[in-house]
């Protein structure tokens, strides 16, 4: 339907055009590339997982800088960081920000912008393209890895557990061989969206690659994480996978591991959960192992 025949679409476009310009920090390079922070109040920048803009590289201090709302302006303030900040190539301790100022903190380049509604929508779309897998709606691996490091850092600091699920669909090869790869892709995407719905509000999910997924569950010990895994297992078993009138019946094997009981860092946590997932495969598939 053309836009002029769709009043709701036309109204939304006009709303975006008329939206006031709002201050935004856009991360252009570094591990957080593609991230954007809409400035509505003063914010903290640093490696601290509770910061509004988390930059996890080693050149960034725990509390590196603050963007302060001064009423009539936004001011970037260095919080006695180890490696300092630069704006437009100049080292500074404090800087009153202007549109298109280029900020460098550690290995990240950040731009201060005043964006209207259309620019904000464009950046949201770009952020989704960079960070979200379009087939499953889950995070891509790069974004998930950064989020997992942030969650682990917070868990360690707070003395709390965190569990990781490594999940691999069963039966996708047979579906591909029998019906074609479009059917396999449908199952992978549908399963990912189901996993995302189950994890919503309790953790974050990722499509690891192919028909594999990851789920991070902050605050969950192994027993509680297993309950989430059981919901996913049952969800896959009971979901009506059907394409072009053809019913499809995938299963899923899930491995569970927890910080700090099974591992002390992200890499060893993944290895522990991955080994558990392979035990599930070797024990007959479509089951959970810890």
The catalytic site residues sit at 211
Which residues, at least 6 apart from 12, have a Cβ–Cβ distance to it below 8 Å? Answer: none
According to the 3-state scheme, what is the secondary structure of 159-173? CCCEEEEEEEEECHH
Nearest to 94 by CA among 105, 86, 102: 86
Tokens read off for 281: 């495969």
| Alpha helices (runs of H) in the chain, residue ranges in sequence order | 7-18, 117-131, 141-158, 172-179, 181-199, 222-238, 266-282
* 110 CB-side CA count, 13 A: 29
Omega before residue 183 within 30° of 0, cis: no
Burial annotation 143-179 (CB, 10 A radius, 16+ → b, else e) = bbbbbbbbbbbbbeeeeebbbbbbbbbbbbeebbeeb
Radius of gyration of the chain (CA): 22
Contact between residue 183 and residue 172 where contact means Cβ atoms under 8 Å apart = no
Tokens (6 digits) for 243: 């394409």
CA quadruple 241, 244, 245, 250: dihedral, nearest 10: -30
For residue 257, the cross-strand partners are: 164
In the numeric block, the tokens 């992978």 are attached to 188
């Amino acid at each position: 339907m053309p836009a002029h025949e769709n009043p709701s679409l036309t109204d939304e476009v006009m709303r975006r055009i008329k939206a006031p310009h709002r201050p935004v920090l856009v991360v252009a390079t570094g591990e957080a590339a593609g991230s954007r922070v809409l400035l509505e109040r003063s914010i903290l920048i640093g490696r601290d997982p509770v910061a509004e803009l988390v930059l996890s590289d080693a050149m960034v201090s725990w509390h590196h800088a603050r963007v302060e709302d001064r009423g009539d302006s936004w001011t970037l303030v260095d919080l006695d960081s180890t490696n300092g900040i630069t704006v437009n190539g100049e080292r500074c301790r404090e800087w009153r920000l202007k549109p298109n100022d280029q900020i460098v903190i550690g290995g990240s380049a950040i731009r201060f912008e005043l964006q209207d509604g259309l620019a904000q929508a464009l950046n949201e779309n770009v952020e989704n393209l960079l960070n979200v897998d379009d087939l499953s709606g889950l995070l891509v691996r790069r974004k998930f890895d950064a989020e997992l490091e942030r969650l682990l850092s917070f868990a360690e600091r707070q003395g709390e557990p965190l569990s990781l699920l490594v999940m691999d669909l069963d039966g996708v090869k047979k579906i591909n061989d029998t019906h074609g790869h479009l059917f396999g892709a449908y199952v992978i995407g549908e399963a990912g969206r189901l996993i995302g719905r189950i994890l919503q509000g309790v953790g974050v999910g990722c499509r690891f690659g192919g028909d594999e997924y990851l789920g991070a569950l902050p605050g969950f010990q192994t027993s509680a994480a297993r309950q989430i895994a059981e919901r996913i297992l049952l969800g896959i078993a009971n979901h009506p996978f059907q394409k072009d009138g053809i019913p499809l019946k995938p299963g899923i094997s899930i491995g569970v591991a927890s910080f700090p009981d099974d591992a002390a860092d992200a890499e060893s946590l993944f290895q522990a959960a991955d080994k558990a997932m392979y035990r599930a495969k070797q024990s007959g598939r479509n089951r959970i192992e810890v």
